[in-house]
Structure 1
Amino acid sequence: MAEPILKWAGGKRQLLDELYARFPATYGRYHEPFVGGGAVFFDLEPSAATVNDANPRLVNFYERVRDDPEALIERLESFDDPDADPDPDLPHAEETARGRDVESYYYQQRARFNRRPYEGEFDPLEEAALLLYLNRTCYNGLYRENADGGFNVPVGRYANPDWVQRDRIRRASDALADATVRNGDFDYVLDAAEPGDLVYFDPPYEPMSATASFNEYSAEGFDREDQRRLLDVAGALDEAGVWVVLSNSGVMNEPYAEAGFRVDREGATRAINSDAGNRDEVDEIVATNVPPSERRAAGQRDLAEF
Structure 2
Amino acid sequence: PEQEAFDIEYWLLEEAKLQRMPGPKSLAGRIAIVTGGAGGIGSATAERFLAEGACVVLADIDAAALAETASALSSRFSEDVVRTVEMDVTAEDAVAKAYAEMAVEFGGLDILVSNAGIASSAPVEETSLGLWNRNMAILSTGYFLVSREAFRTLKAQGIGGAIVFIASKNGLAASPNASAYCTAKASEIHLARCLALEGASEGIRVNVVNPDAVLRGSKIWSGDWLKERAATYGKDKEGLEEHYRQRSLLKRSVLPEDIAEATYFFASDASAKSTGNIVNVDAGNVQAFTR
What TM-score do the two structures reach when normalised by structure 2? 0.36
Greater helix content: 2
What TM-score do the two structures reach when normalised by structure 1? 0.34
Q: Which entry has the higher C-alpha Rg, 1 or 2? A: 2
